[in-house]
């Protein structure tokens, strides 16, 4: 399958007010970006940790109403923070507010200090991955069945009714991860794999594991979109950025995301309105 290349912003909500985040999402939509993302954390990920940090999914409900065409989602939801059935109900609600523009981004969670701060259990890594796997099975059932029963090690459903179904059913599943078990889960379940990496060789090694898992599950690996995030300072050198994106596209990346600064700067708009259309035309 040949995917069109897409571009998006990551507007992590730490140290930002509602008005700032809304302005970024609306600007991204006006400039032609295809996706815009927040994150799913309770406290900021950068100092000062005492700064403001709005909740990701309730924030996305407001952003769904504030936009009309751009796809929105979290990069990514930690599976340990909420019961998966409740999470899917929340996501489906935002999907209806957005008229089917939600991207269901999930991962196995990693921020141990945040869990300790708020009294959330933080199981060992292997259990968190198993929790995610069970959750993904539940997501599939709840979106497709009138009533769902599931008896897992971590989660259960008993004749669970789930209505309404999402507008876009099933919602596109975006999974972030790089460990071997996570890569197998991504190959089996994900519509999009988000990954940042230190070298091309590291990416290719991980991609081979995703592709192998997809084939084992009877899937065409090319069906899975691949996203990565470009550093903000890369926008200051368009020629080097173009060269790097050409290289990443050659590796199989289909979705390019960029962290945005606190203020709306000319560099992001120039990237969106000049370089992106040029690349899309070149890449077809």
Question: d(Cα 27, Cα 24) in Å, to the nearest integer?
Answer: 5
The owner of tokens 């899975």 is: 224
For the chain, give the number of residues.
Answer: 284
Q: What is the pLDDT of residue 138?
A: 98
Asked if residue 83 is part of any domain, the answer here is: yes
* Distance in angstroms between the alpha carbons of the first and the last residue of the chain: 14
H-assigned helices in 152-217: 180-189, 200-216
Is the residue at 1 inside a domain?
no
What pLDDT is attached to residue 2? 81
pLDDT for position 148? 98
What's the CA gap between 190 and 30, in Å, rounded? 28
**Is there a cis peptide before residue 48, judged by omega within 30 degrees of 0?**
yes
Domain ranges, residue 143: 6-283
Q: What's the pLDDT at 61? A: 98
Domain presence at residue 155: yes
Q: Please give the model's pTM, rounded to 2 decimal places.
A: 0.96
Mode of pairing for the β-strands spanning 104-107 and 77-78: parallel
Q: Identify the pLDDT of residue 231.
A: 84
CB contact at 8 A, 122 and 171: no
What is the reported pLDDT for 233? 84
Q: Which residues pair with 74 in a beta bridge?
A: 38
Residue 1: the pLDDT is 73
- 223 in any annotated domain: yes
All residues at 6 or more sequence positions from 94 whose CB lies less than 8 Å from its CB, including other chains: 57, 60, 61, 64, 72, 102
pLDDT at site 48: 94
Give residue 236's pLDDT: 87
Residue 274 lies in a domain: yes
Number of domains in the chain: 1
Domain membership flag for residue 21: yes
Residue ranges of the chain whose pLDDT lies below 70: none
Domain CATH for 247: 3.20.20.30
What pLDDT does residue 261 have?
A: 86
Residue 263 has what pLDDT?
77
Q: Is residue 215 part of a domain?
A: yes
């Amino acid at each position: 399958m040949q995917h069109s290349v897409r571009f998006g912003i990551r507007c992590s909500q730490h140290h930002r007010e509602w008005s700032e985040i809304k302005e970024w999402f609306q600007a991204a939509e006006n400039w032609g970006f295809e996706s815009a993302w927040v994150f799913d954390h309770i406290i900021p990920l950068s100092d000062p940790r005492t700064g403001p940090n709005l909740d990701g999914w309730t924030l996305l409900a407001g952003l769904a109403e504030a936009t009309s065409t751009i796809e929105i989602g979290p990069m990514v939801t930690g599976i340990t923070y909420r019961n998966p059935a409740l999470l899917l109900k929340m996501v489906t609600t935002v999907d209806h507010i957005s008229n089917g523009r939600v991207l269901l981004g999930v991962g196995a969670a990693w921020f141990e200090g945040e869990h300790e701060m708020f009294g959330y259990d933080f199981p060992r890594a292997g259990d968190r991955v198993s929790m995610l796997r069970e959750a993904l099975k539940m997501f599939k059932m709840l979106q497709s069945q009138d009533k769902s029963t599931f008896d897992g090690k971590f989660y259960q459903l008993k004749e669970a009714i789930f209505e309404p179904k999402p507008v876009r059913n099933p919602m596109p599943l975006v999974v972030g991860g790089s460990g071997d078990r996570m890569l197998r889960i991504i190959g089996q379940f994900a519509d999009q794999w988000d990954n940042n990496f230190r070298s091309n060789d590291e990416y290719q090694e991980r991609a081979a594991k995703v592709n192998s898992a997809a084939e084992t599950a009877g899937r065409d690996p090319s069906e899975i979109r691949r996203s990565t995030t470009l550093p903000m300072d890369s926008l200051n050198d368009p020629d080097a950025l173009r060269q790097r994106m050409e290289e990443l596209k050659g590796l199989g990346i289909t979705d390019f995301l960029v962290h945005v600064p606190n203020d709306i700067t000319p560099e992001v708009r120039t990237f969106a309105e000049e370089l992106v259309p040029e690349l899309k035309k070149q890449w077809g």
